[in-house]
Structure formats: C-alpha cells, structure tokens
Structure 1
Amino acid sequence: MSIGQGRIIKTYNGYYYVDSGIDELVTCKVKGKLKQIRFSLCTGDIVEFETNHNGESMITRILPRRNFMLRPTIANVDLIIVAFACINPDFSYLLADKLLVLAEQAGIPAVICLNKIDLAPAGLVAEIEAVYKRAGYEVYAISAQQGINVGKLKDRLYGKITVFAGPSGVGKSSTLNAIEPGMQLVTGSVSEKIGRGKHTTRFAHLLPFAGGYLADTPGFGNLNLEELDDKKLAACFREFAGFEDGCKFTPCTHTHEPICGVKDALAAGEIAQSRYESYLTILEEIKSKKEKDGRK
C-alpha cells in the first residue's frame, strides 16, 4: 500500500483524475467510508489517496480549500480570467459584471480578457477598457486568431491556477490554444442565428501549464446570483468603496437614499453608468428571488 497526494484535474462518472506530479495521472475512486463526500469533490481539490498492490487508487482525504466557486465548480483558484469577445458575440456588460461579482464574492482576483480586437469597430475596445480599468481591474485586449497581446496574457498566468470563465463563442478555447498550442482544445464557430457559440467544453478540467494550471470551463450565457445576500452586493462592486463615506445611511443600498456618495460619484462620472446599471439589475434579481422564497 502506497500513499500519495495530488490535485484533481478532472472528474468523470465517479472517477477522479489526480495529478500527483509524478509520471501519469492517477485514476481514483472514493474510499467506502468517504462515500458521503463524493458529491462535494470537485476539480481543483487537493486530496490524499492510497494505492493498493493491484494498482487501484482510493481517495482517503480532502485537504482544506483556499477558496471555492460553485459555477463553474472549482476549488483552490489563484486567478479568474473573465473572458469575452468585443464582437461576435457582442460584449455583455451585465454578464461580465455578474462574473466579476462571483469572483469578488469568492475572494479570487479577476482580470478581463477581451478577445477578437481585430474585428472590433473603432473605439469599442477603448470604451470597454475604460469602464473596467476605472473600476480597478486589469484588462488584456487580445486577438487569439492573430496572436495580438497573447504573450502578455500568458505572462500573467505563469505559475497560477487560472479559471477562464465566460459565455460560449467568445474564444476561450482558441485563446488557450494560442497560449499553449499543444493543448489542441476543440474550438467551435458562433451561430449567426442566435449569436452564441456551441458549447465545445463540457466539463471543467485543469490543464498543466508553466508551473500552474489553466482551467477551461463550460460556457454559460445566463448566470443567476439570487443566492447572494443583497446587503453584501455593493461590496462586490469594488469601486463603490471609495465613495461610501459620502452615504448618510449605513448600510446604504445606493438606490433611493437622499444622500449617497455612490450616486454622487455616478453623477460626476467617477463610476461607470453600465456598472451601476448592472448593480441595480443584480440587486433586483436577488430581492425578487428572496421575496419569492419568503426570505428576509
């Protein structure tokens, strides 16, 4: 009997594929007494396992997580790349902001990746960059097809466990292929009829890269955040914090209150209109869900 430790890089049909840093991946199942944890195991978990004389490996323990995201379901992440195209499909401020809220809620650093800049109308890239740089986020404007600025993004990922998250059709798989051609991920074309790409990634999995891992995750076009506490939502819009001292009430919802530093900053152009509108939309989604469920 030998004992090992490693990271789950893929799960499938009750099997867990563990990178122990030695030779090939170890294919594991869950030990009988730990069956109750089976459904909580996910990609990114660090586990201990035992291998018997027949070469069968069983997971015996999950090590504590540094962080966790439910959608996409993954643990122990260093960086989230919020990946979007400038065009085809069109950039969605609301969906980008929802993904950033998820990152802020999980306490994971996030950066924006804008793909297909070679196809973007004049001024569009600068417009999107301005919104998110003002909010305090790094923005990487690239063309995976042309190789523009891919090297800069690759340097940012070095040695980290990185999640690529975004809707289908924006070129996540193409971007990963541009960063590391040996990955040879499947890429899909965007349907002109619906403006969304066919899902070419079905399961979250980690790809070893430059001392770390890259994660390609299932695309998603409609992200719901109703489970988030509405009173904590403002904290997920990081640029609000610098203006909340101007709010008369604590807590302040930054909606109907007569004296509000955030609304004053919005009027002065110090907070982007699109970001504030996303905040209001997400806040309403959360409140509507709570009312429907009878929660306070």
Structure 2
Amino acid sequence: MPEGLIVKALSGYYYVQDDAGGEPVQCRGRGIFKKRGESPLVGDRVVYTETENGEGTVERILPRSSELIRPPVANADLAVLVFSVVRPELSFVLLDKFLVHVEHARMDALIVLTKMDRIPDGKEGERIRRTVEEATNLYTSIGYRVLPTSAHEGQGLDRLRTELAGHIHMLAGQSGVGKSSLVNALVPGLKLETNEISDKLGRGKHTTRHVELVAVPGGGYMADTPGFSQLDFAELGIDEIGSCFREFRELSGSCKFRGCTHTHEPHCAVIQAKEQGQVAQSRYDNYVAFMTEWKETKRRY
C-alpha cells in the first residue's frame, strides 16, 4: 500500500500527498481510529489505499516524531513563532507561553518579528525599537534565533527561507500578526486571505480556517494554522513547566532539592541565577504566573 503525507484536513477528509508528487488524494479515515481515540493530523505520514472512485482511505498512521494539540500538527520539527512589533505589540508573556508549548513538544523554535516597516517615528517608535532590541538580546542569549522581518519590504525574507529549507515547520502566532502576509511573501503565487486589524478591537480576525501544509520553495512544508490567543497548560498535560524554560532546565540540576519548583525553595539555582541577573526577571515572572495558572486550572478539574 502506498504511503504519503497528510497536507490538509478539512470537513472530515484528509488530503494525502504521495511521495511521487501529483495531486493529493482525498481520503477518509478508518472507523478504527475513532474507536481507539486516535485522529490523523496534518503532517502525519500515513499508509492509505485508493478506492475505485479516485478517493482513498487512511489505513494506518506511522509513528510521529512530534505532536501539537493546538494547532493540531504532527511531525513538525520547527515552530516558527510569528509576533508583530506593532498592532498587536510584542507580548513577552504570550511569547513565553508559546515557547513553553514548543519546548514541551520537543521542537526547535524560530522567533519571527513582523511589521518592522510599520514602526512609527518619534518617541513611540523609539520605545518599540527598544522593545525589539530587548527581545532580540534576551531570546538570543537563551539560545533561540530571532529574525526581524517585513513582508511588504522583503526585510529578512532571504534568511527566513534559508532557515525553513528542508523542514516541516509550524507557523503560529496571535491573530493579526501578519502570518498570512508572510506566507504570501515566501511562496510566490500563493494568495492567502488577509484582513486588516480592527481599529475598534485592536486585533485581527481569524483568516485561516483550517490547517494546511504549503510547499515552500527550497524544500520543506509550512503549516499555516488558524490564529489563536489562548493556550491551556492543563489541556496539554504539562506538569513540569520549569523544564520548558531552557535556561531553567540547564540550572535545575544544581538545585538542592529534587523536584524544585523554583518558586520558594532554599538553595534554588534558578532563584539564585535570577537574583544575580543571569535569568531575566521577565522570564522568571512569567514562569511564576504560568505555575499559578496551571495550579488554578488543575484545581478546577
């Protein structure tokens, strides 16, 4: 039986791209998946059979190297986290929350800052540039790659294409940050629907309504995913949030107590590093807030 890659899931159908290329085959999933509580995801490598009417049936899901629940993508090895610098402004809290989920999925992350061309002049522009510089310095020091871009002016796009080559990468970010504009600039001929930011609400509308893998020039696939603004730690079953902070993970082995929560224990290497300026205050504050959110959510269940 042939094998292929699910490049789109929509209305109960899975569109499977076989290894030989050509048009994807529209498939249904076997009923056994539902009984097992399984669900094929975009990015899954699958075994399928073709039916007489030119459609097909997904018979088996091959082992996954990674899996995300929101957005639902399998086998992506790189998360491209897209954050705009203006409207909506860069949120360190939301970025750290995204990074926790990415680390939990054992994926690498590339932070892409969009709308660099829209930074205004004057004091407001200076403030935004300082925030961009602060974010770049902070996350680069932790080990993440940070790439400022402008889809309209082409800034950073050549480097971005190089970063993406050969990967199945997940494109994710808050609504209105310019994901669709970025995809349109990266993939010639592809025109995804884009909406302007609502002046009243200060946020964008959801313009991408399903997950789809888009072939990117230079090799690899991009998962363009619906915009979202909330991520639930309890939903993902994340118990050790500290291990999802890279710099905490490296320090935790030096904590006095095993299972240290890095919030109150004596001789905690993370707290000591924070007090010595080796761990950013913003990262630590967000970690404590996430721990509180996780405990409150867990208590409600």
For residue 37 of structure 1, report the CA deviation from its aligned partner. 5.7
- Give the match for residue 42 of structure 2: 43
Distance 1:18 1:69 in 2: 19
Does the C-alpha gap of structure 1 residues 230 and 46 become closer, same or farther in structure 2, counting only changes over 3 Å? closer
Matched, 1:143 2:141: no
Q: Distance in 2 between matches of 1:57 and 1:93?
A: 45
Mark the CA change 1:56 to 1:65 in structure 2 (over 3 Å): closer, same or farther. Answer: same
CA contact (8 A) 2:25 2:55 kept: no
Q: Which of residues 258, 267, 273 in structure 1 aligns to 2:275?
A: 267
Instruction: Measure, in 1, the Cα distance between the counterparts of 2:171 and 2:106.
Output: 16
**Aligned pair 1:207/2:221, yes or no?**
no
Does the CA contact (< 8 Å) of 1:49 and 1:61 recur in 2? yes
In structure 2, which of residues 182, 185, 190 is the aligned counterpart of residue 183 of structure 1? 190
1:237-277 Cα offsets, whole Å, 9 max, x none, are: 00113333442222211111232221121122211111111
2 CA distance for matches of 1:105 and 1:58? Answer: 32
Corresponding residue of 1:15: 13
RMSD: 1.8
What is the aligned partner in structure 2 of residue 251 from structure 1?
Answer: 259
- Return the letter of the residue paired with 2:142: A
Q: How far 1:75 sits from its partner (Å)?
A: 0.3
182, 195, 202: which one aligns with 2:202: 195
The aligned counterpart of 1:77 is: 76
Map Cα deviations across residues 147-184 of structure 1 (whole Å, 9 max, x no partner): 11111011100011010111011001111111113221
Instruction: Give the conservation status (yes or no) of the 8 Å contact 1:230–1:283.
Output: no
Aligned to 1:235: 243
Structure 1 position 32, deviation (Å): 5.0
Q: How far off is 1:31 after superposition?
A: 3.7
Structure 2 regions of 5+ residues with no counterpart?
A: 120-124
Secondary structure at 1:201 match in 2: coil
Q: Does 1:97 align with 2:104?
A: no
Q: Does 1:277 align with 2:285?
A: yes
When residues 208 and 261 of structure 1 are mapped into structure 2, their CA distance, relative to the original with a 3 A threshold, is same
SS in 1 for 2:9: strand
Find the counterpart in structure 1 of residue 122 from structure 2: none
Look up the match of 1:162.
169
What residue identity is the alignment partner of 1:15?
Answer: Y
Identity %, equivalent residues: 43
Determine helix, strand or coil for the equivalent of 2:189: helix
Q: Which of 135, 140, 162 pairs up with 1:133?
A: 140
User: What is the one-letter code of the residue matched to 1:5?
Assistant: E
Q: Which is further off, 205-214 or 52-61? A: 52-61
Is the 2:69–2:236 Cα contact (8 Å) retained in structure 1? no
Q: Is the 8 A contact 1:116 1:143 kept in 2?
A: yes
On the 8 A contact 1:135/1:271 being kept in 2, the answer is no
Whether the aligned pair in 2 keeps the contact of 1:203 and 1:218 (CA below 8 Å) is: yes
Residue 119 of structure 1 deviates from its aligned partner by 2.6
State whether residues 77 and 162 of structure 1, in contact with CA within 8 Å, keep that contact through their aligned partners in structure 2: yes
Cα gap change, 1:7 to 1:38, in 2 (>3 Å): farther
Task: Say if 1:148 and 1:51 are closer, same or farther in 2 by CA, change over 3 A.
Answer: same
CA distance in 1, matches of 2:287, 2:25: 44
TM-score (norm 2): 0.91
Tell me the CA shift for residue 231 of structure 1.
Answer: 5.0
Count matched residues: 291
Cα drift, residue 50 of structure 1: 1.2
Looking at structure 2, the residues matched to 269 and 17 of structure 1 have their Cα atoms a distance apart, in angstroms, of: 50
Query: Which blocks of at least 5 consecutive residues in structure 1 are unaligned?
Result: none
Change (3 A) 1:248 1:32: closer
